[in-house]
Structure 1
Amino acid sequence: MSVSSPGTSLLRQPVAVWAVAFAAVVSFMGIGLVDPILPAIAHDLGASRSQTLLLFTSYLGITGLAMLLTGAVAGRYGAKKTLLMGLGLIVVFAALAGASGSIGQIVGFRAGWGLGNALFIATALATIVSAASGGTAGAIILYEAALGLGIAVGPLLGGALGEISWRGPFFGTAALMAVAFLAISVLLPATPRPAVRPRLADPIRALRHPGLRAVAVMAFFYNLGFFTLLAYTPFALGIASPTGLGLVFFGWGICLALASVLLAPALQRRFGAVPVVATMLGLFALVLAAEAVLVGHPTFLVVGTVVAGIFLGVNNTVVTELVMEVSPVPRATASAAYSAVRFVGGALAAWAAGVLGEAVAPWAPFALGAAGVAVGLLILLDNARHLRVVDHPVEAHSRTEAVAVGTGDA
């Protein structure tokens, strides 16, 4: 079944699109890769929880701030060179993180990793959208499948390699990113620089648009919950085994990936973007609130974390399409502006979760996450009038094609 027109399949993409999608999978593995090894890093390096969670803060904070520069860099060097610069930085800093001897060194190298990540992910989505066949919606589904698959596989790989040493996941990521670097070098044709080069201030100016600004601010608060769940849950669960933690977050990531591909298009087609996002935010806030109340029950935390992946997967896909379509600014600029705001929210969440978990109580980080998501919901509802531009039926997506993409069969 076609995505946008007869004979145009979501899976029938140029080889360059698959090369970028593969690199995106590996890139997004870096988000959840450290989850299973956080307790091991804290134990082996004598670090507190709040110090260890700075691995997320430095990574996400630099990723967010660097997003403001990516458009100007891509405008000067072109998409392919920008992608390769990003991948090269990730290879170097992931390897250095694996060779580190202190928590401070890892935090610093994760910041360099975040810079490379920003250069890559801000350019990857625009590259896939421009090169893919099947229209914007199909390209976004492909990108979100790569995101979900990367987030799912990251903890699984991190857990497996973490059983050998906490250094293993870092070296493993460096090796996989080196493969992605070679794939894009060979398979992605040279990309011309845009006729009109983006300026450094373009992402900031883009946020003047009320619709894009509303989605970005909503995502800032949403990410307070997203990264509280991702960063603090490994400590709250009390599971020492990297493999055990990896399996928990693998289940979470699989739910996220399949929901983004299977549920999101159908729900948006039936109910519209704003009602779907509002519902997912409400359900996610309830899960976080319940985890705050039942933080002493590991079984519930496991179930709540995995189930939350469904809500997050639907939300991520629909919000990504909102970002791409809600404003008249170029897609790369819109993506950079939105990502800068949301990743800063994630950086603050990881830091605050560590501090609250130590200074207040184990339930406090989840309460903060629930409150943040609830604020995001209120912002979305208050600005719904600015988001109706994409509140329309999207193209039909084949269930078979979606499963293939979401499970990696393609």
Structure 2
Amino acid sequence: MSPLMRSAIVLGLLSAVGPFAIDMFLPALPAIAADLGASVATTQGTITFYFIAFGLTQLIYGPWSDQVGRKLPLYVGLGLFLIASLCATLAPTIDMLILARVGQGLGAASLMVVTRAIIRDEYTGYEATKLMGLIMLVFSVSPMFAPLSGAALITVTGWRGIFAAMAVAALVAMLVTAVWQAETLPKEHRVPVHLKTMGRGIRTLMRDPVFMGLTFVGGFGMAAFFIFIASAAFVYVETFGLTPTQFSLAFTVNAMGFIGASQAAAPLMQKHGALTIILLGVGGFAASMYVLMALALMGLASFPVILAGLIAGFGFMGLVIPTTMVAALDPHGDIAGLASSLGGTLQMVAGGVMVAASGPFFDGTPTPMIGAMTVCSLITLGLLLAILPRARRIMSAG
């Protein structure tokens, strides 16, 4: 097995824990709302606050991993996730469940930001994008099988068994980290955490319009997917009458476009350049969502139409996410941990805010969900066009 493939498997499994915590319990959202006597908007808080906690905490894990190395933050994050999963299993009210979900987000954040930094420790450019695509292939198991396993668990254990399974996943991830993940940041390359140094690094990153632009291009692309995650169970189950298992299958089909495109990102980037692929992905994503929104307004948003439109939209997004991640980090290798954490924080908070902002408009029908996703796609297009001239100069010089 090549070192690149081994890294993809290990980092993919670690990266999958966070998405697993989202995807596995999606079929249970209507059951959770009914069992705990919560409204749809309140139940969506189990996703919104997870994203916000997940995003904000990345700003801590990144600099910390620059100081102490990559493995200790992984262990701490997994420990927090494990404890929070057990609390969610026993949660007596929706408020306690949301609090436990916040704890899960606080822990899972380490896995996302530290794995990105590990990639930047060892690879750049084409190889980094290829590894990012391979990682996405590994954790694509989450949207493909996590909802199905969640639906199966609901029939046997109820929704609480899903969170118990997440605790088991955290234990497995700890073993994977201990046995197969080497430390990739040597002591001589570690940077002490000083607020002044951290502030200087953050200012450098936030004054870089290309870093910020690419970060939010990816961020609002992911925000569209977050809106789908928060709303799809209610739309598919309550509007179209799907069972939890049928919803899980539909969710898997929707994810297939993203999974396939993410694997094509690296070879396409090598052949055509990162910026060309980002332009193709963002333009296709915006066009797909615009067409789907037009069909919804005409009353033509049937289940097959939504399924097909989202496959196309998420497919184009699969080109955008890994490529923007690598392109944003490439010029900032000396502060890769901080850059990764700041980028992740901004992206996840943007996603959480968009979910919260779209919540009041949700009425159980597909149109508000599609409309909010269309807004996200148009924001990504506007941001990319705004930074395009500067991005072309920087990437061509690199």
Deviation of the 1:371 alpha carbon: 1.7
**Which residue does 2:330 correspond to in 1?**
325
1:377 Cα offset (Å) = 0.5
Query: Could you say which residue in structure 2 is the equivalent of 1:177?
Result: 170
Deviations 1:161-199 (A, max 9, x none): 233311222211211221111121122234544432355
Other-structure match for 2:24: 33
Per the alignment, residue 382 of structure 2 pairs with 378
Corresponding residue for residue 208 of structure 2: 209
Equivalent in the alignment of 1:142 = 134
TM-score, normalization by structure 1: 0.83
The residue correspondences of 1:10-409 to structure 2 (distance < 5 A) are: 11-13=2-4, 15=6, 18-131=9-122, 135-164=127-156, 165-190=158-183, 192-193=186-187, 194-199=189-194, 200-201=198-199, 202-203=201-202, 205-237=204-236, 238=238, 239=241, 241-262=243-264, 265-266=267-268, 269-270=271-272, 272-286=276-290, 289-290=293-294, 292-293=296-297, 294=299, 297-325=302-330, 327=332, 330-358=335-363, 363-388=367-392
Cα distance, 1:340 vs. partner? 0.9
Q: Secondary structure at the match of 1:363?
A: helix
Q: How far apart are residue 287 of structure 1 and its match?
A: 5.3
**How much is the aligned-residue C-alpha RMSD, in angstroms?**
2.9
> Which whole-Å deviations, capped at 9, do the CAs of 1:329-372 have from their partners, x for residues lacking one?
533222212111111111122222322114x9752342122123
Matched residue SS, 1:330: helix
Normalised to the residue count of structure 2, the TM-score between the two structures is 0.86
Aligned-pair identity in percent equals 23
| Distance in 2 (alpha carbons) for counterparts of 1:326 and 1:62 | 27
Between 1:68-77 and 1:169-178, the stretch displaced more is 68-77
- Range moving further from structure 2, 263-272 or 304-313: 263-272
1:274-296 alpha-carbon deviations (Å, 9 max, x no partner): 42233233234325524643486
Q: How far apart, in 2, do the equivalents of 1:37 and 1:308 lie?
A: 25
Residue identity matched to 1:176? A
> Where in structure 1 do 4 or more consecutive aligned residues deviate above 6 Å?
none
Closer/same/farther in 2, CA of residues 13 and 214 from structure 1, 3 Å limit: closer
**Alignment check: 8 A CA contact 1:163 1:241 kept:** no
1:152–1:257 Cα contact (<8 Å) kept: no
More displaced stretch, 23-32 vs 113-122: 23-32
Say which structure is richer in helix: 2
The change in CA–CA distance for 1:218 and 1:138 in structure 2 (over 3 A counts) is closer
Q: Residues 287 and 103 from structure 1, CA distance in 2 versus in 1: closer, same or farther, beyond 3 angstroms?
A: farther
- Counterparts of 2:149 and 2:74, CA distance in 1: 23
- 1:278-322 CA-partner distances (Å, limit 9, x unpaired): 323323432552464348623323333334331221221222222
Please list the CA deviations of residues 221-265 of structure 1 after superposition, one character each: whole Å capped at 9, or x if unmatched.
334422112211221222452211111111222332121003563
1:404 equivalent in structure 2: none
Check whether the contact 1:256–1:309 (CA below 8 A) recurs between aligned residues. yes
Matched residues, number: 383
Deviation of 1:85 (Å): 1.1
Q: Distance in 2 between matches of 1:281 and 1:52?
A: 28
What CA distance in whole angstroms lies between the structure 1 residues aligned with 2:222 and 2:291? Answer: 14
